């Protein structure tokens, strides 16, 4: 049976191996264990691919937002650039898993940590439109990570991207991150 995904959802499989548009420049384990096995290139394939081929595979589905309010959505929609800009020749794939304590909380408590106390949206928005992004959910697919976060930017904004990542990692939200990888790419 072929799954049918509704409009506005983007299922994808990230395949580390010998093929693909993106060259893997470095792959680091930030928290919670080992990096993925070494691979030369990354292919981002549309759809949830069968579990064959490549050295490693991670799948997720990008879709509707969970935490964003109306004013935030309006501001994000206005400032967010598309993926695939010709000048955005650098990318980062940052897979993240949060702890059981995070997932035991109801939505309002998670939102309070995510935004009221960590200012994830308000402070990250300042980096738009330099960074293009897409958030894939993977937890409900039984994947090893809860989220696959994907970012694209021009080389001149690589420093700003590092600043953004360091800012988020220092916030309360990140005390709930139990596994995190950081894979940097160029094309
Ligand atoms: C480029 C600037 C960024 C903006 C504007 C941004 C914005 C957002 C927004 C609006 C959400 C909420 C989506 C929802 O409502 O479901 C979100 C979630 C998330 N972002 Fe970011 N973000 C940025 C950068 C980053 C970076 C650099 C990372 C990783 C280092 C990251 C990791 C995440 C994760 C893991 C979630 C899911 C949180 C959860 O559902 O528990 N974001 N981001």
Task: Give the SS3 label for residue 136.
Answer: strand
d(CA 89, CA 133): 14
Determine which residue's CA is closest to atom 23 belonging to ligand 1.
124
Label residue 2 by pLDDT band (50, 70, 90).
Answer: low
Task: Give the SS3 label for residue 9.
Answer: coil
Determine which residue's CA is closest to atom 7 belonging to ligand 1.
121
pLDDT at 49 > cutoff 90: no
- Note the pLDDT of residue 52: 76
Q: Which residues pair with 151 in a beta bridge?
A: 92, 133
- Note the pLDDT of residue 33: 86
- Note the pLDDT of residue 184: 98
- Pick from 72, 121, 154, 184 the residue to mutate for probing ligand 1's pocket: most ligand atoms within 8 Å of its CB: 121
Peptide bond connecting 129 to the previous residue in cis, omega within 30 degrees of 0: yes
Q: Is the pTM of this model over 0.95?
A: yes
Q: Give me 103's structure tokens.
A: 């997932």
Percent of the chain with pLDDT strictly greater than 90: 91
Determine which residue's CA is closest to atom 32 belonging to ligand 1.
149
Digit-coded pLDDT (tens) for 92-139: 999 999 999 999 999 999 999 999 999 999 999 999 999 999 999 999
Determine which residue's CA is closest to atom 2 belonging to ligand 1.
124
Ligand 1 pocket by Cβ (under 6 Å) = 65-68, 76, 94, 96, 120-121, 124-125, 127-128, 131, 133, 135, 147, 149, 164-165, 168
- Note the pLDDT of residue 67: 97
Q: What's the CA-to-centroid distance between 120 and ligand 1, angstroms? A: 7
């Amino acid at each position: 049976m072929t799954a049918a995904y509704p409009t506005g959802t983007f299922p994808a499989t990230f395949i580390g191996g010998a093929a693909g548009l993106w060259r893997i420049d470095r792959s680091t384990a930030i928290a919670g264990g080992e990096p993925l096995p070494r691979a030369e290139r990354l292919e981002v394939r549309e759809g949830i691919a069968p579990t064959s081929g490549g050295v490693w595979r991670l799948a997720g589905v990008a879709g509707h937002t969970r935490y964003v309010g109306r004013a935030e959505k309006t501001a994000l929609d206005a400032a967010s650039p598309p993926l695939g800009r010709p000048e955005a020749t650098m990318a980062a794939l940052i897979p993240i898993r949060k702890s059981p304590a995070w997932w035991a909380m109801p939505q309002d408590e998670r939102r309070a940590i995510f935004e009221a106390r960590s200012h994830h949206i308000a402070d990250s928005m300042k980096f738009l439109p330099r960074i293009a992004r897409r958030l894939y959910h993977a937890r409900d697919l039984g994947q090893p990570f809860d989220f696959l976060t994907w970012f694209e930017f021009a080389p001149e904004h690589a420093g700003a991207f590092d600043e953004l990542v360091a800012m988020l990692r220092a916030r309360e939200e990140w005390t709930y991150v139990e596994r995190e990888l950081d894979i940097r790419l160029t094309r």
